Amino acid sequence: MVLGLGQSMLGLASGSLVGFSLGLVGGGGSILAVPLLVYLVGVASPHVAIGTSAVAVAVNAAFNLVNHGRAGRVKWRCALVFAAAGVLGAFAGSTLGKLVDGRNLLAAFAVMMLVVGGMMLRSRHALSFPDVKLNRENLPRLLGLGLATGGLSGFFGIGGGFLIVPALMLATRMPILNAVASSLVAVTAFGLTTSVNYSLSGLVDWPLALLFIAGGVAGGLVGALASQALAGRKGVLNVVFAMLIVVVAIYMLVRSLWTI
């Protein structure tokens, strides 16, 4: 699509919001990106919105990963094992997702988001271990949850951070701040896998993707600072993360029901 000045500004602003979400909670980026591209920027095809958002979210996640990595918050071995398993799922899921009408996925996906949000709220005071390491006990859980999460991420065309964060916490019992930081490894890997798959079918708007990336860089810096500040208060980041999921899920449900 040919972008006018207004659409370009909306693309930059939307990218900033996506980057902020990724920096703050390690997820929600592509969940926000697709509705923003369709309903705000005006991308007609949901599949083009999915492919374009996958490119932008992958690059913005990688940028935020650098910030978290420098701060020592990434559990690299756990994250890499999780992401490696998930890439296989993401490729298979994105291949299947291209065959399904994008709008028909939103209602079911929103229900799943509500379930995950509720789980996060219930587990906000769960015991965690900051010194967690990859071992024979958590390796099978990381592989299994990584494969499943990658499949869902690819199928729905999302980075999957809102699934990856609780999955990492479940598999290893790492604190949410470490899970947020470590999830960006998988978000980057899943996003790249999905974007390559979609681009091979011509379902990526590259100029719009570049605008999203540019806006996301600034938003990501602010989000990472906010994430670090909120992590000092027990349970706050979990609540922020869960509420973000719930709000976006309700919005998606309303939009889906409105078009029936």
Beta-strand ranges (E) seen in 167-253 are none
Token code pair at residue 145: 């949850």
Per the model's pLDDT, the better-predicted residue between 22 and 9 turns out to be 9
| pLDDT one-digit tens code per residue, 45-93 | 888 888 898 898 888 888 878 888 998 989 999 999 999 999 999 999 9
Q: What number of other Cβ atoms are within 10 A of residue 173's Cβ? A: 15
Give the start-to-end residue ranges of the domains of the chain.
5-258
Q: What is the 3-state secondary structure (H, E, C) of 107-159?
A: HHHHHHHHHHHHHHHHCCCCCCCCCCCCCCCCHHHHHHHHHHHHHHHHHHCCC
The pair of structure tokens assigned to 247 is: 């709000």
CA gap 190, 163 in Å, rounded: 12
Q: What is the pLDDT of residues 107-141, one digit of tens each?
A: 777 787 787 777 666 655 555 667 788 998 899 99
Cα–Cα distance, 83 to 49 (Å, whole number): 23
Query: Is 256's pLDDT higher than 80?
Result: no
Q: Whole-angstrom Cα distance, residue 41 to residue 147?
A: 33
First-last CA distance in the chain: 27
Average pLDDT, the chain: 82
Distance of CA 133 to CAs 47, 78, 89, 125, 169, Å? 38, 7, 24, 21, 12
Of the listed ranges 54-58, 166-170, 222-226, the least confidently predicted one is 222-226
pLDDT value, residue 122: 67
